[in-house]
Every structure is written in structure tokens, then in C-alpha cells.
Amino acid sequence: MTSPSSDTGAGILRLHPDGTASRGSRILGIVVLVSVVVFLYVALVASAPDKSLDAQGQLVRIMYLHVPSAIACYTAFFVTAVASGMYLWKRTMGWDALAASSAEIGVLFVALTLLTGSIWGHTTWGTWWEWDPRLTSTALMFVLYLGYLALRRAVLDPTSRAKQSAILGIIAFVNVPIVHYSVDWWRSLHQTATVASLDPQIDGLRLFALMFGMVVAMLLYVWLMMHRFRLAFAEAALEAKGLDLALAERRAEARADGGTVPPSVKTEGAS
Amino acid sequence: MADLAAESMLRDAAMVVGKDLRLEWRSRVTLSQILPFALLVLILFAFALDPDRRILEEATPGLFWLAVLFSMLLAIQRAYAVETTDGVIDALRLSDLDPAGIFLGKAAGIGLHLLVLEVVLFIGVTVLYGATPHGGLLVVVTMLLATAGLAAAGSLYGVLAAGLRVRDTLLPILMLPVVAPVLIAGTEAFSAAYANSSGDGWKWCGLLAAFSVLYLAIGIFAFEPLLEES
């Protein structure tokens, strides 16, 4: 039984006895909070509605949320793939925790992307769902990473889990463009009348709202990652400690019963 | 040197696929359980989609590949169920067989089972749904390429889920999104063949070929670490 806390990327993080917050994350948290308020003001109030040829009107505002969350989810899954590769190379639990945290936050952003896309579709197309290639491939990506998280929950042994999910994390990311292009191709064959898509004219304050939205989404991602990563690391430490604790308890019980203490209690990770 | 390694990989693959086929010959699980299931799916589709309104005939390509995907899940679970009982997987790890060879052998075994399933399902949709294909060559090539892709991905995800207590429920959620491109491409290529416009179908075969090559390559490299952990 390798203990995840002993062999691992101490360089990547410090353990925080009083929760997952640190000075850095608190400062970043305040920055995110202020940015969100400013972003909402610019996106919802200050910027003008879209009045271009293919006018989106007020609806353009949902894009300031939709596009940044889409970009954040791709970033998150990219980080998962890179961290997975790094785990396979370095074999330290820190990289595994990074991959896991990023995938989880990525799923959150995909859900947000799907939700905003669907709401936009409802007002534009009149239905909650159209088989738009981008929406469809995003939905598949959502399920793909739910599968990744499901695998993480299914494997109990930390080392096995790290290795298996690292491989899956890379395969899943390789799979994203295949799914994207096949769905794209599939729809382009069937679409007779082009469905209106979210491509409004972007300039001035609208451009600023979009760009600023991306910055805010990235900051939010980083802030969430700091907390989720520290939580994942604490979980790994607890997992290792919990096993030691349980072993000590069983040994104490054996001693109290007056029986002989087994030289080592064999533990088996249910992989 | 590289030739020798490739030769031993293929020899190991042949041994594994031979073992799997012998197991199937003796147990007949695919023949007596998975094949009837596949036919049952065809009949259930007819209950869901009114056979009198020609929906079945129009939807034949998609229904065919859906039936293949569902049966595939069972075939993969079966292929790895025989490896995980009685500690066989440990024996396999200790056997000094090339892991890439084991991967190719398992994939070939799953692929052969799938091909039999596909032939029977094809006869099934022709008889039951009354759909007559035109581009025979396109149909055959699509089947072969799609089967290679499904078998490679299946062999890979099968070993990932093998040994887990939740493997039966985990495998579909892991595999089906991944093989969605095969469903799309297989359906489109079959549609082209049924509509007698094979020209449109061939580019989908290109996608199927790319998918197969990619997953065969991933499997050859990723199977060893996955086998160690299963």
C-alpha cells in the first residue's frame, strides 16, 4: 500500500490545515467576485443589443456567458489530458488530483454551456433542443467526461485509479475532435435550410463584454481549481490515513481480545 | 528485430483469438444468448416503430447499427468475463504473452463475434424490415471497417472496466459516446447503399477506417498498463 501523501508532489501544493483557502485563493476570490459584478454590468446593461443584419437583439447577451463557459470547459479538459500525461510520466498523486479536479470543473462548465445554448435555442428556434452540430457534440462530450468521473468513483485503489483514469483522460481528449467532426459532417449532410446560429456582429463594448467574459471564466476556473485541487489532495491524504487508522484499530481490538497480533494485516485494494 | 517483435505479437494474438474461439465453441454463449438478443432487438424496434408506415424500412440503417452497438456491449462483457473469473487475468499477466498481442487477439475475437452478429442482423433487417440494399460492396466494406473500430475500442474499454465491480453498468457509459462516430458513419454509409448512391457512402468509410486505425494504435500502446491494473 503506497501512501499518496508521502511520495507526492509536495512541490505542487501545500496542505492547508484550516480548509482549502489560502491567502492567494482569497485574493483571487475577491478579484473574481469584483470581476463578475463588472462583467454582469457590462454584459447585461452597458453594452448595446445586437442590431446587425442577422439581428440577435437582446439575445446576444447570452453569448457573453455561453462562449466563455465553452472555452473554459475545453481548457479544463485540456488540463485534464496534460495532467493525465504528466501522471503517467511522473507517477505522483498531485498530477492525478489535478486531472480529477479539472475534469470535474470541466463538466460543470459543459453543463453551463449546454444550458445557455439550450436557453438561447429556445428563444431563437422555438425549441429547447435542435440537432445543431455544436450542441450535439458538446452533449456527447458531457457524457464522455461523466464516464471519466464514473470510472474515478468505481476504482477503489488510489494507484490503479490514477493510472486507469490517466489513460482514459488522454483517450477522452483525443476523442473530442473525432466526435466533433463526425457530428459536424453528419449535420451538414442533412441541414437543408441553415439554422440560425449564434454568430452576431461583435464590436465595441460587445467585443469587450465577450473578451472580459472569457477572462472572468478563466479566473473562475483557476479559483475553483485551487479549492478543488486542495480538496482532492486532502481526500487522498485522508484515504491513506484512514487505512492506517483502521489497521491500528483492528490491531488494538486483537490485542484487547488477548489474541495474537497478526504480523501484518493483508489489505487488498478492490480494483 | 522489429520484425521479430511484430511476429511474436501476431503469434500471441493468434493464440488469444484461438483460445477465445475455442471457448465460444464449447460454451456457445454468443450463439445461444447474444445472437437471439440481437434478433429480439430487431423485433422490439418493430413494436416501437409501426411496421405498416414504412418507418422501419426508412430507419433500417440506423436500427441495424443500433442493434449492433447493443449486442456489442454484451459481446465485450462476455469477452472479458471469461478473463476475470478464477484469476485468469493474473495468469494472463504472468504468461509472458505480448500485451499488444493480447489486445489484438481480444479485438480479433470480439470482431469475429461481431461479424457473425452483423451478418445475421443484416439478414434479419432484409427479411423482417423488407429493406433491400444495392451497393453490396459498400455494405461489406462498411461492415468490416466498422467492426474493426468497434472491436478495437471494445477490447480497450473492456479491459478498462474488467475487474471492476460496477463493470456492467460502467462499460456502456464509457463506450457508447466513444463509438458514436461509428454509429453515424455506419448509418450514413448504409443509407447511401440502400439509396443506391454508393458514391456518398465511401467517404464515411474513410472516417470508419481512421477511427479503426486510431483505436488499434491506442490499444497497442495503452493495453499493457491497463492490463496491469485490471
pLDDT at A199: 61
Which of A8-17, A33-42, A186-195, A206-215 shows the lowest per-residue confidence on average (mean pLDDT)? A8-17
- The CA distance from B10 to B16, in Å, is 10
pLDDT at A194: 45
Task: Give the model's confidence band at A270: pLDDT under 50 very low, under 70 low, under 90 confident, else very high.
Answer: very low
Model confidence at A14: pLDDT above 70: no
What burial class does residue B19 get, using C-beta atoms within 10 Å of its C-beta: 0-12 exposed, 13-18 middle, 19+ buried? middle
Model confidence at A268: pLDDT above 60: no
Delimit the domains of chain A by residue range: 61-190+202-234
Q: Which residues pair with A57 in a beta bridge?
A: A50
Cβ contact (<8 Å) for B184 and A182? yes
Cβ(A202)–Cβ(A83) below 8 Å: no
Q: Which of A151, A182, A189 is closest, CB to CB, to B170?
A: A151
Model confidence at A7: pLDDT above 60: no
Cβ contact (<8 Å) for A179 and B177? yes
Cβ contact (<8 Å) for B226 and A185? no
Task: Give the model's confidence band at B119: pLDDT under 50 very low, under 70 low, under 90 confident, else very high.
Answer: very high
How close does chain B come to A119, measured CA to CA in Å?
24
- The CA distance from B177 to A137, in Å, is 10
How close does chain A come to B206, measured CA to CA in Å?
11
Cβ contact (<8 Å) for A171 and B222? yes
Model confidence at A5: pLDDT above 50: no
Mean pLDDT, residues B63-76 taken together: 95
pLDDT at A220: 95
With vertex at residue A109, the alpha carbon angle to CA A29 and CA A31, rounded to the nearest 5 degrees, is 15
pLDDT at A192: 43
Residue (of A60, A27, A43, A10) closest to A214 by Cα position? A43
Q: Is B199 on the interface with A (CB under 8 A)?
A: no
Mean pLDDT, residues B201-220 taken together: 93
Identify the closest residue of chain B to A173 by CA–CA distance. B178
Task: Give the model's confidence band at A106: pLDDT under 50 very low, under 70 low, under 90 confident, else very high.
Answer: very high
Residue (of A235, A245, A237, A234) closest to A267 by Cα position? A245
Looking at per-residue pLDDT, the higher value among A109 and A244 belongs to A109
Which of A15-19, B29-33, B53-57, B72-76 shows the lowest per-residue confidence on average (mean pLDDT)? A15-19
- The CA distance from A184 to B211, in Å, is 16
Q: Inter-axis angle of helices B55-84 and B99-128, to 10 degrees?
A: 150
List pLDDT tens digits, range B147-178.
999 999 999 999 999 888 888 899 999 999 99
Which of A136-145, A181-190, A253-262 shows the lowest per-residue confidence on average (mean pLDDT)? A253-262
Share of chain B above pLDDT 70, in %: 99
Count of domains in chain B? 1
Cβ contact (<8 Å) for A186 and B184? yes
**pLDDT mean across residues, chain A:** 82
Cβ contact (<8 Å) for A147 and B180? no
Mean pLDDT, residues A53-65 taken together: 77
Mean pLDDT, residues A26-32 taken together: 93
**How many helices, marked H, and strands, marked E, lie in chain A?**
6, 0
pLDDT at A1: 39
- The CA distance from A255 to A144, in Å, is 49
pLDDT at B2: 67
Q: Is A160 left (phi over 0), alpha (psi -120 to 50) or beta?
A: alpha
With vertex at residue B139, the alpha carbon angle to CA B136 and CA B142, rounded to the nearest 5 degrees, is 145
Spell out a b/e string for A78-91, using b for 16 or more CB atoms within 10 Å of the CB, else e: ebbbbbbbbbbeeb
- The CA distance from A23 to A169, in Å, is 31
Cβ contact (<8 Å) for A168 and B211? no
Q: Which residues pair with A50 in a beta bridge?
A: A57
Mean pLDDT, residues B27-48 taken together: 90
Mean pLDDT, residues A257-264 taken together: 60
Residues of A in contact with B178 (CB under 8 A): 144, 171, 175
Task: Give the model's confidence band at A9: pLDDT under 50 very low, under 70 low, under 90 confident, else very high.
Answer: very low
DSSP B60: H
Interface residues on A facing B, Cβ-Cβ cutoff 8 A: 88, 140-141, 143-144, 146-147, 150-151, 154-155, 159-160, 163-164, 167-168, 171, 174-175, 178-179, 182-183, 185-186, 189, 270-271
Q: Which of B165, B177, B226 is closest, CB to CB, to A140?
A: B177
List pLDDT tens digits, range A191-233.
444 445 556 666 678 888 888 999 999 999 999 999 999 898 8
Task: Give the model's confidence band at B130: pLDDT under 50 very low, under 70 low, under 90 confident, else very high.
Answer: confident
Domain boundaries, position B87: 2-229
Cβ contact (<8 Å) for B177 and A150? no
pTM to 2 decimals?
Answer: 0.85
Residue located via cell numbers 425549441: A127
